Structure 1
Amino acid sequence: MQKKILIVDDEPSISLLIEFHLKLAGFEVRCVSDGEAVFDMLQPFRPDLIVLDLMLDKMDGMQVCRKLRGQNNAVPVIMLTALQDVSDKIAGLDNGADDYMTKPFSPHELISRIQAIFRRLKTLPSSTEDTSFIIGGLQVQVAQRQVYLDDKPIELTPKEFELLLFLCQHKGKVLSRQQLLHGVWDYHFLGDTRIVDVHISHLRDKLEKNARTPQYIKTVRNVGYKMYNSIINETSMA
């Protein structure tokens, strides 16, 4: 079955270019030109992924992402923008985007990023795999994509959840920033490891009582991060 891609861009030349190459790659494609139209297309089209421009009329890309995630809609989003600053990239990811590309970009690179996201989704545990990770007072319920700290629910963005899950799946192992980039985003951010540091910082804000002495996510100087092996037990609830 063809994967469905929704393109959201107010520049017709950009939309037509992306649409042409995505259709050649075998995707079913629809295009809209403003942020509000995204929500009109969710039910009739049911996209598997959204290619979303940042600068849009009526509702910009950041607002679209926040609204989608606020509705618990986990459809993958690749955000497009002419802004080059790394802080803009981080802001896009923090607002729920799965990936971020700056204009101008290669359509073939966009297709590679789309395929990487679909590959990553295939490797995530299915809804039938009722597994949890118990880490001290932290519980990560994989199939339900829910996290509890001391029995209280913790709200994570989709990418924060996937980063936490990846750390749990490699409990006790020191993971470099590049390993985390590749394992969680499924490609390399051209050496921009600050993306990992920012997401780790946000996870700690939500999970750690004291960021200076973290209980769950340990920094290994000059290497990367790991989950504390001594307090992790994986429990299968078959």
Structure 2
Amino acid sequence: MTRILLVDDDKDIRQLLTLYLQNEGYNIIEAENGEEAIEMMNKHHPDIVLLDVMMPKKDGFTIVQEIRQSGNAVPVLMLTARQEDMDLIQGLTYGADDYIKKPFNPLEVIARVKAMLRRVNQFQLSQSSEARLIGPFELREDERLILKENEPLALTKREFDLLSLLLTQAKRVFTAEELYEKIWQEDALGSSSNAVMVLIHKLREKVEETPKSPRYIQTVWGVGYKLEP
């Protein structure tokens, strides 16, 4: 399910947009100020961000700058009551993808969200047909093939699915529960962490020069796993 982070200090606006967006089947994560927005970004890794400009603690301009400086390319739609052209240009310059002026029609917000997600999906589809180079790895998704230093890796289906996921979102930290749900395509259970741990161990045996001291597939203690290219 597509996750949308909705950031606005106005509770009424959050409730209104949440109602409309949930009716479209989106999973909504709310934040009421800038600091909470960054916390929710790191915790939930949303697919799109709806971001108010004027907020306490951190304004929208600061947040979008921090998002882009971290290397995150998540689409950002800014919600602004400011009408000056320079303010709107500033938001786009800092890394926002689009903006919409308050007061707005919720149906227009939904249309903008769908258009942004459609562009992202089209881009990802065009990228998936090409080989991608990530550090010493080459990912050929159409062929279901991963090479390391030009040598093909002999991977099982789940090993390929796991490694390709880590490669395409290098440096992102995944919890064991997230990996289980994405690889096994079912809800995480009590034993899901152990299943992921075993799969990580097997994958390291094929990828790492020294599996007990992994260079690429790293454990982030207390959180999960990431790939460091």
Larger Rg: 2
Equivalent residue for 2:139?
none
Q: Secondary structure at the match of 2:73?
A: coil
Equivalent residue for 1:129?
130
Distance 1:106 1:67 in 2: 28
Tell me the CA shift for residue 43 of structure 1. Answer: 3.4
**What pairs with 1:45-84 in structure 2 (closer than 5 Å)?**
45-84=44-83
Which residues of structure 2 form unaligned runs of 5+?
133-229
Q: Secondary structure at the match of 2:25?
A: coil
Tell me the CA shift for residue 128 of structure 1. Answer: 5.0
Tell me the CA shift for residue 127 of structure 1. Answer: 4.8
Distance 2:42 2:62 in 1: 19
Considering Cα pairs closer than 8 Å and 6+ residues apart, tell me whether 1 or 2 has the greater RCO: 1
Equivalent residue for 1:90?
89
Over the matched positions of the two proteins, sequence identity in percent amounts to 40
Tell me the CA shift for residue 42 of structure 1. Answer: 2.0
Q: Deviations over 1:106-140 (max 9, x none)?
A: 11000000000111112213255148xxxxxxxxx
**What pairs with 1:1-238 in structure 2 (closer than 5 Å)?**
2-124=1-123, 125-130=126-131
Distance 2:116 2:78 in 1: 13
Q: Deviations over 1:31-51 (max 9, x none)?
A: 111111122112332210110
Distance 2:54 2:33 in 1: 9
Distance 2:63 2:52 in 1: 10
Give the AA of the match of 2:130.
E
Give the AA of the match of 2:119.
R
Distance 1:122 1:4 in 2: 14
Q: Deviations over 1:139-161 (max 9, x none)?
A: xxxxxxxxxxxxxxxxxxxxxxx
Give the AA of the match of 2:87.
D
Tell me the CA shift for residue 88 of structure 1. Answer: 1.7
Tell me the CA shift for residue 63 of structure 1. Answer: 0.2
Which residues of structure 1 form unaligned runs of 5+?
132-238
Q: Secondary structure at the match of 2:82?
A: coil
Distance 2:5 2:120 in 1: 18
**More helix by proportion, 1 or 2?**
2
Return the TM-score normalized by structure 1: 0.53
Tell me the CA shift for residue 83 of structure 1. Answer: 0.8
Distance 2:128 2:93 in 1: 25
RMSD: 1.9
Q: Secondary structure at the match of 1:104?
A: coil
Give runs of ≥4 in structure 1 deviating > 6 Å: none
Aligned pairs, number: 132
Q: Secondary structure at the match of 2:12?
A: helix
Return the TM-score normalized by structure 2: 0.55
Give the AA of the match of 2:46.
P
